[in-house]
Amino acid sequence: MNNQRYFSDKVAIVTGASSGIGLATATLLAKYKAKVVLAARSIDKLEELRNELSQYTQVISVKTDVSVEADCRNLIETTVKEFGHIDILINNAGISMRAMFKDLDLSVIRRLMDVNFWGTVYCTKYALPYLLESKGSVVGVISTAGYKGLPGRTGYSASKFAINGFLDTLRSEHLYDGLHVMIYAPGFTASNIRKTALMADGSQQGETPREEGKMMTSERVAEIMLNHIRKRSRRATLTFTSKLLLVLTRLFPITTDHMEYWYMAREPDSPFKRRRDIMRERRNHQA
């Protein structure tokens, strides 16, 4: 069965649908003739996208701040009122951060957990009765950071680890109920998430420190995600680098910590770049 046949007429909710992976996923679902529910904080962007995608299928937009429980409940209730049931929930909404923990205002970690983790919990909680009824799919978009902590990303890694654990447990609880639970880790993707990443004081980063042109596109990430939803995969981790990191972490954990540190320290204006330079100076002095 191809994706067009599988997704046709299914009711799919996509959070964080106004940009990046969420936008690409919603667009592809619409082209596959699914009934799409767009959720994000920016209603203007959602309405623009809804108008664009309505040429393919039925689409509604619901202004949703996933960190607010009432918004998530309203998202689910509006979907059921409009379409009668839910087949797929894609918990994609998320924000990132870039700062050393010692410099970090704790409100940044609270914000990361509220959006990334609690947003997934709230939406899943209220959608779960309908997903159990339809034997549908719930997807959590995490990251390599949800398997291996990334330096300078404490709040981000913590929130993604939490989603990983939450959905893994949910799958076990409903092992015999026909519920499909997928944990999806795209790796570095060309999207808006790094531009809106929070710095130590909670302000947005603005410019991405990475070369977006060398990353996997949001469209490709969305395509692979939908392939795995159709196959009802338990987990999917993208990019060779991410897969290699996970293998090396199991085999050579200490060496991998050092490799990861130096890899992340290469970013322009890295929050731990000064420490990297000091270590170089020490090695040169010892030589």
pLDDT of the residue at 174: 98
Q: Which residues are catalytic?
A: 156
- Could you report the per-residue pLDDT of 112-166, keeping only the tens digit for each? 999 999 999 999 999 999 999 999 999 999 988 899 888 889 999 999 999 999 9
Q: Quick check: 152 and 130 in contact, CB under 8 A?
A: no
In a domain, 284, yes or no: no
In a domain, 139, yes or no: yes
In a domain, 105, yes or no: yes
pTM above 0.95, yes or no: no
pLDDT lower than 50: segments of the chain: 194
CATH number at 162 reads 3.40.50.720
Contacts 24+ apart (CB under 8 A), 55-63: 56/30, 56/31, 57/30, 57/33, 58/83, 59/30, 59/35, 60/36, 61/17, 61/37, 62/37, 62/38, 63/39
Domain that holds residue 126: 3-251
Residue 158's H or E segment, with its range, is helix 154-173
Cβ contacts of 110 within 8 Å, gap of 6 or more: none
Q: Measured between alpha carbons, how far is 196 from 194 in angstroms, rounded to an integer?
A: 5
In a domain, 256, yes or no: no
In a domain, 199, yes or no: yes
In a domain, 216, yes or no: yes
In a domain, 265, yes or no: no
The structural domain count of the chain equals 1
In a domain, 273, yes or no: no
pLDDT of the residue at 69: 98
